[in-house]
Structure 1
Amino acid sequence: MSTTEIPGPGGRVERPWGWYESLASGEHYLVKRLLIRRGQRLSLQRHQHRCEHWVVVAGDGQLQVADELIAAAAGTSVFIPQGALHRASGGHGDLEIVEVQRGEWLSENDIERLADDFGRI
């Protein structure tokens, strides 16, 4: 199994909350851009095989890492340790995040959802 599984050319993957696209990948890292639509949110999730670093590049909303809630605006940055619960929510406008994943296995299959607005548990 490869260390990364990323979309092919064109790269944008639509999700019920918005979309993501892969920007770069290499040995044990993957960089994505996520857009969480106004009023939408990612599932409450964790990963067993990777950590993530989120940098908000545009918009507003809220980030949750473990039990901490963080107001999100351009420039906000959070580190999500491997195994930590986390979620991002769009606010009054769309929320745009650059996500850097690091780990031995980088796959959408490494998402454990604990709560989801779209029934994907």
Structure 2
Amino acid sequence: MTNVVERPWGWFEPLGSGEGYLVKRLCIRAGQRISLQRHHHRSEHWVVVGGHGTLLCDNESHEARAGCTLLIPCGALHRASAGDQDLLIVEVQRGARLSEDDIERIADDYQRVAEGTSGEVLG
């Protein structure tokens, strides 16, 4: 049984993990978005599996629709935003450190940015 983790923007659930990787399913609720963030110890690969919205990576905006993918290099600023329906993403994290403390929030709609701190996964 998977553990769904609720967030202000929606939810995520871990799907599997192994040496150097972690796979999750994310649901960003309609009209919501995750923090503008970066990771220092991992890269991510997003595959949109449902809904639509916008994916941002290092100031490049990409339309998010089922079937599109986005590679997010380690250190790249990124964010996902849902349009008028929920956005479903399968995320593959790769790196030596895949813990929840490897996040630097630059901007957040839910007042979770604090200088010098880190927060939840894709928070």
The amino acid of 2:105's aligned partner reads: R
Question: 1:107, CA displacement in angstroms?
Answer: 1.1
Q: Secondary structure of 1:109's partner?
A: coil
Question: 1:80, CA displacement in angstroms?
Answer: 0.1
State the partner residue of 2:20. 28
Question: 1:49, CA displacement in angstroms?
Answer: 0.3
Equivalent of 1:14, from 3, 6, 11? 6
Task: Give the structure with the higher percent strand.
Answer: 1
Identity %, equivalent residues: 65
**Match status 1:91 vs 2:83:** yes
Runs of 4+ in 1 over 4 A off after TM superposition: none
State the partner residue of 1:68. 60
Unpaired segments of 5 or more residues in structure 2?
Answer: 114-123
Unpaired segments of 5 or more residues in structure 1?
Answer: 1-8
Superposition TM-score, scaled by structure 1 size: 0.92
State the partner residue of 1:5. none
Question: For the residues of structure 1 that align with 2:103 and 2:92, how far apart are their CA atoms?
Answer: 15
State the partner residue of 2:118. none
Question: 1:11, CA displacement in angstroms?
Answer: 1.2
Q: Which one is further off, 79-88 or 9-18? A: 9-18
Q: Secondary structure of 1:100's partner?
A: strand
State the partner residue of 1:120. 112
Question: 1:10, CA displacement in angstroms?
Answer: 3.4
Superposition TM-score, scaled by structure 2 size: 0.90
Question: For the residues of structure 2 that align with 1:41 and 1:70, how far apart are their CA atoms?
Answer: 14
The amino acid of 1:61's aligned partner reads: G
CA RMSD of aligned residues (A): 0.7
Question: For the residues of structure 1 that align with 2:11 and 2:39, how far apart are their CA atoms?
Answer: 19
State the partner residue of 2:101. 109
